[in-house]
Amino acid sequence: MTRIAVLGATGYAGAELVRILSGHPEVELTVLTSRQHAGARFDSVYPSLSGHLDLVCEDYSPDRVSNAADIIFTALPHKIPMEIVPELIRRNKKVIDLSADFRFKEAATYEAFYQPHSAKELLKTAVYGLSELYSKQIQNAKLVGNPGCYPTSVILPLAPLLKKGWIDHQSIVADSKSGVSGAGRSLSLTSHFCEVSESFKAYKVGDHRHNPEMEEVLSIEARKSVNVTFVPHLVPMSRGMLTTIYATPAQNLTLKEIRDFMVSSYANCHFVRICPEDSVPNTLFVRGTNYCDIGFKLDHRRSRLVIISAIDNLVKGAAGQAVQNMNLMLGIDERTGLDTVPFPL
Ligand SMILES: NC(=O)c1ccc[n+]([C@@H]2O[C@H](COP(=O)([O-])OP(=O)(O)OC[C@H]3O[C@@H](n4cnc5c(N)ncnc54)[C@H](OP(=O)(O)O)[C@@H]3O)[C@@H](O)[C@H]2O)c1
């Protein structure tokens, strides 16, 4: 059994990791860290997991984590992982980081949108953990920078089409809506019940930190500089993310050609489902699952391709994709521990 530590286990992404990993047949959870809940049983913090694990939360100690775990998930706010991951890598541990600290190829891009980077040398070897695009590199990685939830929902539908040259790389608008768990569990006025229920709003328009992340990866895939006008929104649901992308086709294409191409592009990718022509994705259909559903509509009169994707921000957008990456690193079926049948409603 591979031994696993989750740092930041009581946050929303960490708790989702604990949920998935506690049911995973090939690994054993050994360490869960939290400052606020150190000394408390994990199932007293999240009673839904009662009967599934009996671990007690601990303060972080590099010695304890290195001795007790082979693979470490860091589900911590950005800036903390770059301070602790170098030591874990030096101790020959494999790390999957859910923050933004190891997602960027260019330190300057990270620094322009976050803060100075104190472990730049690791960016050279870190692998961007979009499982479907980089599975081969992930298999051999020691450090995976797990993608952001918005970038996952934008890159998966666009990467094959940009690579093929089928859409104008300067024409892209991505309009995303996220459930409130995307903001994490810490208290904040913007996520109070009265601020989000009965409310639907855009935020950080053209200024969100996930914008440079999606542009960096899409530019690599397209082999040219891709710009995305990105507008995130907060919707009054706890989990789920729906992204609607508008782009201009670079040539005359039919909806069938686009759909057939996407079906063949993701033919071996269990967690990407291309919707039938007459249906569009819905967050309800992917809730609690690691699926990314993708659908298309072609607006011929206005020469616009409309692409819609749906993920669960906590699963394919965070913990599920991180476990998919762990499976790839372990050389086991990428579906292990993740292939839950979705709720019908
Ligand atoms: N939520 C999502 O949908 C989502 C999606 C993709 C990626 N992510 C990424 O995943 C990471 C965790 O996000 P989250 O939404 O789970 O956040 P969260 O709910 O706020 O959880 C953060 C966790 O980190 C711990 N923590 C906070 N400040 C810390 C510090 N200074 N030192 C050590 N531990 C600290 C917290 O526990 P204690 O305070 O008890 O230590 C908690 O367990 C972030 O980097 C986020 O960007 C989140």
Closest protein CA for atom 1 of ligand 1: 182
Q: How confident is the model at residue 345 (pLDDT cuts 50, 70, 90)?
A: confident
Q: 81 in ligand 1 pocket by Cβ < 6 Å? A: no
User: What's the CA-to-centroid distance between 181 and ligand 1, angstroms?
Assistant: 11
> What is the structure's pLDDT at 278?
86
> Cα–Cα distance between 53 and 290 in angstroms, integer?
22
Q: How confident is the model at residue 322 (pLDDT cuts 50, 70, 90)?
A: very high
Q: How confident is the model at residue 166 (pLDDT cuts 50, 70, 90)?
A: very high
Q: 39 in ligand 1 pocket by Cβ < 6 Å? A: no
Question: Minimal CA–CA distance to 52: which of 19, 6, 75?
Answer: 19
Tokens linked to 72:
């470490």
What is the mean predicted confidence (pLDDT) over 49-56?
A: 97
What is the mean predicted confidence (pLDDT) over 227-247?
A: 97
Q: How confident is the model at residue 302 (pLDDT cuts 50, 70, 90)?
A: confident
Q: How confident is the model at residue 206 (pLDDT cuts 50, 70, 90)?
A: confident
- Give the sign of the dihedral formed by CA 107, CA 109, CA 111, CA 114: negative
Q: Quick one: which atom of ligand 1 is closest to the CA of 146? A: 7
CB 304 within 8 A of CB 248: yes
> What is the structure's pLDDT at 51?
96
Q: What's the alpha-carbon Rg for the chain, to the nearest Å?
A: 20
pLDDT averaged over every residue in the chain: 97
Q: Is the pLDDT of residue 180 over 90?
A: yes
Q: 11 in ligand 1 pocket by Cβ < 6 Å? A: yes
Tokens linked to 58:
């601990």
Q: Is the pLDDT of residue 248 over 90?
A: yes
Q: 184 in ligand 1 pocket by Cβ < 6 Å? A: yes
Q: In what order do the strands lie in the sheet with 304-311?
A: 201-202, 228-234, 172-178, 241-247, 304-311, 292-299, 272-274
Cα angle 42, 4, 102; round to 5: 105
> What is the structure's pLDDT at 301?
85
Cα angle 114, 9, 285; round to 5: 85
User: What's the CA-to-centroid distance between 98 and ligand 1, angstroms?
Assistant: 9
Element of type H or E holding 15: helix 12-22
What is the mean predicted confidence (pLDDT) over 202-227?
A: 96
User: What does the pLDDT look like over 24-42, one tens digit per residue?
Assistant: 999 999 999 999 999 999 9
CB 85 within 8 A of CB 74: yes
User: What's the CA-to-centroid distance between 12 and ligand 1, angstroms?
Assistant: 7
Closest protein CA for atom 47 of ligand 1: 99
Proportion of the chain above pLDDT 70, given as a percent: 100
User: What does the pLDDT look like over 284-294, one tens digit per residue?
Assistant: 999 999 999 99
> What is the structure's pLDDT at 300?
84
What is the mean predicted confidence (pLDDT) over 97-118?
A: 97
Question: Is 304 in a helix, a strand, or coil?
Answer: strand
Q: How confident is the model at residue 332 (pLDDT cuts 50, 70, 90)?
A: very high
Q: Quick one: which atom of ligand 1 is closest to the CA of 148? A: 6
Tell me the three-class secondary structure of 144-198, residue by residue. Answer: EECCCHHHHHHHHHHHHHHHHCCECCCCEEEEEEECHHHHCCCCCHHHCHHHHCC
